[in-house]
Each structure stands twice: as C-alpha cells, then as structure tokens.
Structure 1
C-alpha cells in the first residue's frame, strides 16, 4: 500500500485535475469553485463469518445554472463478503462550477450491516481502516463559496440486549464562507487505534483535510451473544456563485449521476484502502 503522504499528494494534485478535465473539459477558463468529499472504510480479519449481510448505497446530484456552468458527481459502492469475511464501502461527491450564477450539489451515502452469533467465552474481533478526504477551492470571495463535509460511523450492537457496545466516528467539514472548518476522530475505549495520520489546511481560498485511521476491536462474551456491525457513511458537497433564480435557471438532476459511472470506469474512483 502506498504511503499516506504519497496518496494525499496524488489525490490533491493528480486525481482532482484529471477528474476536472474528464468531467468539465468544455468549461471556459474563468472564476471557478471546487468541492470534493470522499470516504472509504475497510473491515478485514474477522474472527468468524457473518450470519447475514446487507449493503445500501444512495446518490443524489443536481446542477442549477444560468450564466455559468457547473458539473456534479455522486458515486457510492459497498460489499460484504461471507467467505472470506470482508467488508468495504466508499462514497464520493464532487461539484465544480465556473463563471457566475450557478449552484451545484452532490451527496453520496454507503452503508453496510453484518450480523454475527458469538459463542460464549470466545473472542470476536476484526481490523479496520478508515479514510476521509475533503477539498474546497474558490477564486473570488465572498461571491463564490464551496462546502465539503464527510462523516462515517460504525457501531457494534448487542442485538439481544438492544444496546451499543462500541462505536467509532470520523467527521470533517470545510466551509469557505466562514471559519467553522473541522476534522475529528472519536472512538470508544475497547477500540485500539494502531495508526492515525491526518493533514489539513484551513482558511483562505483553498482548503483541504485528510485523515487515515487503522485499528482493531476485540471482545469476549460470557454468554452466546448476537451482535451486528453497522456502518454508515455520507459525503456531501455544494458550490455556488451565487444561486440563480428558480424561474429562469436550468435544473439538471439524477441524470448527472451517470457521469459518475463514466468516471469510475476511467479511473476506478482511486480506491485507496484496497491498494
């Protein structure tokens, strides 16, 4: 696996320009905005296979423009295999606009659930890797603004006793119109974090934040216990400069999501944790 800093450099300096050229190649060179949010989570080395699994993905993208141009992408994928037991999901959102009088929005979500029956006095454990990347850029403030937020959370839930046993969360947000940028990681005490690396630049016309967390969870139950691993991820972006009037703007929704499929075939969405 490539080192963290190498990937950050590739993401911010290579992937974004490539994506921009492939999706918005026809846009003129004028004042521009960009917002990007990407999240990935990988679960491996389970002590046992799940009894059942469920994965859910959802995407939404829309572009409204009058005098300017805007393009949006929303993409999500999720998988949970039983043999061998392994789970992965990712969600990716991008919005970019140029000139004035436009608004772009993209949101992607990915979730997974796995249920397990753990025998008495046996350990239940797994490893995980979580990654979040955010980026925003504007040329002219305060006329333009861009927002990128991302969050991912997972919990180990005791089905028999209806309670949360352990939890993990990453959340971040970049907001060019104010100083409320943030990046945070939280986890319960039974989760062991073996590696955590983050990098951020808040304030100004160009901002970014990235974080990579690797860890593990292990629990032993006195009695046979049914548990569920539940993970939810959301990535959302917005660009506007400024928002056009509803009665004269052109609205593109849903169909724009098809751009994501074309892009995914071309660069495979640059999955980091699976490399």
Structure 2
C-alpha cells in the first residue's frame, strides 16, 4: 500500500503541469512526456546476526531545456538493522517534459549488504519482498520518446571463493514508442517464490509494467561458512523531444560481487 500510494502521489505531482496545459489546448508541438521507475525491496526474518552491515545510495539527474520545459527527480534510501536482522531499500526516478527541444534523465540506485559467519551444521534463511513499477506516456509520436527501466537483484555469496549460492533478479524496460518492452524475473533453484504477480501493458502512447513478488531462501551448511547477502536496485528514466537518432541504453549491468568488494573497501 505504501509503495502504491507513493506512485500515485508522484504521478499527481508531475501530471499537474500537463493537466493545466491540456485545459488551455496544447498544439502537437507542445505535447508532454512522462517516465517513472520505482523499486522497493525488503529482507525480513533473517535467522542469523550479521557481523557487518552496509548501505549505499546514489542519485543523478540531468535536465536540459532549449525552448521546452523539463523536470526530473531521483530519490534513494537504504537501511540495514543488525538485530533483529532486516533490511529495506527504495529507489525512484521520474522525468516530465513539455513543449519541444528538451532532454530529461534521472537515475537512482540503492544497495544493502550484510556479512555473516554460519557455523557448521546450521542453516541460513530469510524472507524477501520486491515491488516494481514502470510507467511511460507521450502525446506526440514519433517526435517524443519516454523510457523507463529498472532492476532489482540479490545474491547470497560464499565470500571465501566469491561463488554465488543463490540469486534472484527482476528486470523491466519500457520504450514509448519502441519494440523493446519487457518485464521478466529469474532465480536460482533454491529461491522459493509465493504467488508472484506481474502485470504489463505494452504498446501505444502509454505503457506500464508492475511486479509484486514474495519469496524465501533456506540453505544448510556442513562447514563453517562466510556469507554476504547483497541486494542492489537501480531505476532509470529518460524523456526527450525530439527523439534522438542515437540509442541510449538505460539498463546497466551490476555485479553484486563487485558491490561486496567496494563495500569492504569503504568499511
């Protein structure tokens, strides 16, 4: 409910200039674009106490208007509590453009990491929830373009040899107008999901994709083992008018093992 309310509030905030302009009658050259990407993730019921915990957030926005109006927003937050062990993070990016000759970009990223030592003959387990929203709209194709992308992923890593024991990944992309829209998730065999819900509306001047996924992981260890539990999410949006001739890739590859290394250097 909290995540859905946040989506509605931000849409209302950014749609207000568009509604006001529509009441006056916008010419095709003065139409508007909107792109929204948000992800939220929770680790709960972690049955071991972490030795170390860490969080990291990063945001970036660019707005360039040459006769047009553009607004961008990027937010990220992350928390990890050691006892009882639980973690949460949220990242959100959105951009709104109006009239013509503008570029708006927004990127956000949030990371949580916990390091554990599990005794021989014991187990490591946790529950998780992931919520994901993408939305794009344009008024005047093909002059305008709106893109929204994002990914949520976690990995349970044996830090002795940097091997991934379990993983989950949720990824989506909207390109309005374009033909590379998708929403997909994948997991390792040991990750159990409970009735995942995904919806998508691809095609036309207004597109959306949502996912709400709950799951759990449980793994037993015969020997004492050092583990890192890492979750990374990123959200990117772009609005442009006119549509640039070149292709800008919104999705970036994130290595959770690399995140472990960077976090250790910061500690």
TM-score of the superposed pair, with normalisation by structure 2: 0.84
Q: Which residue of 2 aligns with 1:194?
A: 194
Q: Which residue of 2 aligns with 1:239?
A: 239
Shift of 1:187: 0.4
Q: Which residue of 1 aligns with 2:161?
A: 161
Give distance in 1, aligned partners of 2:6 and 2:89: 18
Give distance in 2, aligned partners of 1:159 and 1:100: 51
Q: Deviations over 1:182-215 (max 9, x none)?
A: 0001000000001200111000000000001100
Shift of 1:16: 4.0
Answer yes or no: is 1:20 the counterpart of 2:14. Answer: yes
Q: Which residue of 2 aligns with 1:207?
A: 207
Q: Which residue of 1 aligns with 2:146?
A: 146
Give distance in 1, aligned partners of 2:61 and 2:238: 10
Give distance in 2, aligned partners of 1:197 and 1:134: 14
Give distance in 2, aligned partners of 1:241 and 1:45: 47
Deviation larger for 157-166 or 56-65: 157-166
Shift of 1:67: 1.1
Q: Check the 8 A contact 1:34/1:137 in 2, yes or no.
A: yes
Give distance in 2, aligned partners of 1:114 and 1:65: 42
Q: Which residue of 2 aligns with 1:36?
A: 36
Answer yes or no: is 1:96 the counterpart of 2:90. Answer: no
Give distance in 2, aligned partners of 1:241 and 1:173: 19
Give distance in 1, aligned partners of 2:6 and 2:162: 41
Higher RCO (C-alpha 8 Å, min separation 6)? 1
Give distance in 1, aligned partners of 2:6 and 2:200: 13
Aligned residues: 237
RMSD of aligned C-alpha atoms? 2.0
Shift of 1:49: 1.4
Q: Deviations over 1:74-110 (max 9, x none)?
A: 0000000001111000100000011111110000000
Q: Check the 8 A contact 2:138/2:145 in 1, yes or no.
A: yes
Answer yes or no: is 1:86 the counterpart of 2:80. Answer: no
Deviation larger for 29-38 or 140-149: 29-38
Q: Which residue of 2 aligns with 1:220?
A: 220
Shift of 1:174: 0.1
Q: Check the 8 A contact 2:144/2:243 in 1, yes or no.
A: no
Q: Which residue of 2 aligns with 1:263?
A: none
Q: Check the 8 A contact 1:73/1:106 in 2, yes or no.
A: yes
Give distance in 1, aligned partners of 2:66 and 2:20: 14
Answer yes or no: is 1:74 the counterpart of 2:38. Answer: no
Where do 5+ consecutive residues of structure 1 fail to align?
245-275
Give distance in 2, aligned partners of 1:27 and 1:56: 38
Q: Deviations over 1:39-83 (max 9, x none)?
A: 011000011111101100000001000111010000000000001
Q: Deviations over 1:103-137 (max 9, x none)?
A: 10000000111001111111110000011100000
Q: Which residue of 2 aligns with 1:130?
A: 130
Give distance in 2, aligned partners of 1:67 and 1:27: 18
